[in-house]
Amino acid sequence: MKSPEFVRHDLRSRAAYAEGAGIYRIVPRGVALPETTDQLQALVRWAGRSGTPLVPRGAGTGMPGGNVGSGVVVDLSRLDGAPLAVMADGRAHAGAAVTWAAIEAAARPCRLRVLPDPSSGKWATVGGMIATNAAGPRTLKHGPVRRWVDAITLVTADGQLTELRRGHRPDLGVRAFHRFFETVHEQLRAEYAAVRSRWDRGVRKNTAGYALDAYLESGDLLDLVIGSEGTLGIITGAEWRLAPAPAVTRSLRVALRERSDLVEALARLRSFGPAAVELLDASFLRFVAETAALPGRAGLAAEAAALLLVEFEGADADALDATVAQAVASLTPLALDLHTASTAGEHDQLWAVRHAASPLLARLGESRRSLQVIEDACLPPACLGDYLEAVEAASRRHAIPSVAFGHAGDGHVHVNLMPDLTREGWEDEVTALYQEITHTVLRLGGVLSGEHGDGRLRAPWLEATYGPAMMMLFRAVKAAFDPHGILNPGVKLPDGSPPISHLKVGGGAVELPGDIAAGLREIELLGDYGRWRMELVGE
């Protein structure tokens, strides 16, 4: 069956979409470039008739492999011309291709802002953020995407365009919704207590599996589709609630003497209601000691066991200054150094090293690459120190350096491995470390996906996370929405492929045309994920 005319099958186009921001290189069988929702619907209907898997994709910033695959990659980055409107009632209507940065810029003149704020917000698209229930530093106070989205439009696996709006019953004329209520809804209701117990893990963020807990709590199908990583439908737009910009902000940097004080320091900080608490672990500080200057005390990066970067926000400067002073007094016995910032320039300087984390890691030499293999675990806050100790011990044991940083206020940190690609057997060591730390996360009561989703990397561990009964419910949800399995197969629900395979580096990496490979590497080095991949093709 002939594909639509906007589907490309030439090698160069397919190679340009073989990679995203994570560890994988998988050359797709085709690349679809729909410019309108009508074209997208036609594509999905063709895929259903022909049994062709579709891999929805925005900017390609996702880490766990939800944006690459062996089917037809669907580039949504230009869908419908990326429409955006900020309304007088404090809402934004945005197409799937609109970036977080674009909404933020449009909202700023109205003294509004977009919450949450993912670190990749310069390029992250509305479709991708909703698909992963994205979060960010200020999730500690304001929560992830789900809290801020009131409606979405999506194309179902049957090719139907529909809307899901919070508080409104879905249109049962949409075949996917009809199947869901006919076959799955009552099953979920019957398992309400079991779902609650499985999701009541003491973690503050969780994007592992389908959000059965959120759906049963609200009764809104919207909450089930959010975080489903393009496996239940393809998002084409959203209605986003914006938030007032804070009148006053203050920042605090805390250098801890001992990592053993981390959990106590975090507990003290949370009592003061910060908007964000970010961690730069000693492993990361050692990595940047020679490449990123820190304001204040010289040599701090080499001396501190960890840095905590804290942001407070409020309506009254005097009240906020008093809160910061109380936090400083509370943290002083645990701190090697404390530094506050009140002006915008001081704030930017204080946070510069955190924002530099991913770019610095991306720019490692070709013989030692940063791999996002155990990069999204969220732990009960009291277990964060145990997790970091386990990662450090495993890194030593397998001779693979690692660095940790991220959203400590939520017990959620990102760990990047830095294997030596010239060392024989490094792939086996990475796999062993991945398995060991995955078991550690589950033993500590954590989840493997805090904000980036499961993708291909963590889908195989969902049964170990939730148990076989919940996996049966996940499969029932997927079957109701996507009975032919065309939407992002292997994502969320595993397809049997080893998670540490199809790597973009190493001897087993699929060979790409040289200039395409160089262009993809340049995007990674520069963090230039806003670049349209078809530019690499050169036509």
What pLDDT is stored for residue 496 in this prediction? 93
Residue 349 and residue 396 in one domain: no
Residue 389 and residue 342 in one domain: no
Q: Is this prediction's pTM over 0.85?
A: yes
Q: How far apart are CA 245 and CA 8, in angstroms?
A: 43
Q: How far apart are CA 152 and CA 333, in angstroms?
A: 48
Asked if residue 405 is part of any domain, the answer here is: yes
Asked if residue 56 is part of any domain, the answer here is: yes
Residue 43 and residue 61 in one domain: yes
Give 122's contacts (C-beta < 8 A, 6+ positions apart). 99, 100, 101, 529, 530
Q: Residue 282 sits in a domain of what CATH number?
A: 3.30.70.2190
Q: And the tokens for 143?
A: 């929560």
**If phi over 0 gives left and psi between -120 and 50 gives alpha, with beta otherwise, what is residue 37?**
alpha
Give 408's contacts (C-beta < 8 A, 6+ positions apart). 262, 266, 277, 278, 279, 308, 384
Would you say the C-alpha torsion 343, 344, 345, 350 has a positive or negative sign? positive
Give 496's contacts (C-beta < 8 A, 6+ positions apart). none
Asked if 64 and 497 count as a contact pair (C-beta separation under 8 A), the reply is no
Asked if residue 481 is part of any domain, the answer here is: no
Give 150's contacts (C-beta < 8 A, 6+ positions apart). 91, 165, 166, 239, 240, 241
Phi, psi of 295 (to 5 degrees): -65, 145
Burial classification of residue 101, based on how many CB atoms lie within 10 Å of its CB (0-12 exposed, 13-18 middle, 19 or more buried): middle
Domain end marker among 336, 361, 386: 361
Q: How far apart are CA 189 and CA 346, in angstroms?
A: 51
Would you say the C-alpha torsion 221, 124, 16, 415 has a positive or negative sign? negative
Residue 273 and residue 316 in one domain: yes
What pLDDT is stored for residue 65 in this prediction? 97
Asked if residue 393 is part of any domain, the answer here is: yes
Q: How far apart are CA 70 and CA 80, in angstroms?
A: 25
Q: Residue 62 sits in a domain of what CATH number?
A: 3.30.43.10
Asked if 377 and 206 count as a contact pair (C-beta separation under 8 A), the reply is no
Asked if residue 314 is part of any domain, the answer here is: yes
Beta bridge mates, 162: 154
Beta bridge mates, 235: 154
Residue 353 and residue 379 in one domain: no
Residue 391 and residue 441 in one domain: yes
Residue 325 and residue 429 in one domain: no
DSSP secondary structure letters along 78-121: TGGG--EEE-TTSEEEEETT-BHHHHHHHHGGGTEE-SS--TTT
Asked if residue 108 is part of any domain, the answer here is: no
Q: Residue 427 sits in a domain of what CATH number?
A: 3.30.70.2740
Give 294's contacts (C-beta < 8 A, 6+ positions apart). 300, 301, 307, 353
For residue 450, what are the domain limits? 366-455
Q: And the tokens for 303?
A: 């001396």
Residue 338 and residue 293 in one domain: yes
What pLDDT is stored for residue 436 in this prediction? 97
Q: How far apart are CA 208 and CA 202, in angstroms?
A: 14
Residue 162, CA distances (Å) to 96, 236, 263, 491 in order: 14, 10, 46, 23
What pLDDT is stored for residue 381 in this prediction? 94
CA 401 to the chain's CA centroid: 23
The count of other CB atoms within 10 Å of the CB of residue 197 is 10
Q: Is 234 helix (H, G, I), strand (E, B) or coil?
A: strand
What pLDDT is stored for residue 527 in this prediction? 87
Exposure string over 391-430, b if 16+ CB within 10 A, otherwise e = bbebbeebebbbbbbbbbbbbbbbbbbbbebeeeebbebb
What pLDDT is stored for residue 207 in this prediction? 97
Nearest Cα to Cα of residue 377 among 458, 303, 431? 458
Residue 515 and residue 430 in one domain: no
Asked if residue 168 is part of any domain, the answer here is: no
Q: And the tokens for 120?
A: 């990749």
Residue 347 and residue 313 in one domain: yes
What pLDDT is stored for residue 297 in this prediction? 53
Beta bridge mates, 55: 73
Phi, psi of 514 (to 5 degrees): -55, -45
DSSP secondary structure letters along 129-149: HHHHT---TTHHHH--GGGGE
Residue 370 and residue 449 in one domain: yes
Beta bridge mates, 31: 8, 73
Q: How far apart are CA 521 and CA 523, in angstroms?
A: 5
Domain end marker among 291, 326, 361: 361
Nearest Cα to Cα of residue 423 among 504, 366, 367? 367
Asked if 176 and 161 count as a contact pair (C-beta separation under 8 A), the reply is no
Phi, psi of 37 (to 5 degrees): -65, -35
Residue type, 220: D
Number of compact structural domains in the chain = 3
Asked if residue 90 is part of any domain, the answer here is: no
Q: How far apart are CA 324 and CA 310, in angstroms?
A: 10
Residue 387 and residue 356 in one domain: no
Domain end marker among 440, 455, 470: 455
Burial classification of residue 369, based on how many CB atoms lie within 10 Å of its CB (0-12 exposed, 13-18 middle, 19 or more buried): buried
Residues of the chain with pLDDT under 50: none
Beta bridge mates, 237: 95, 153
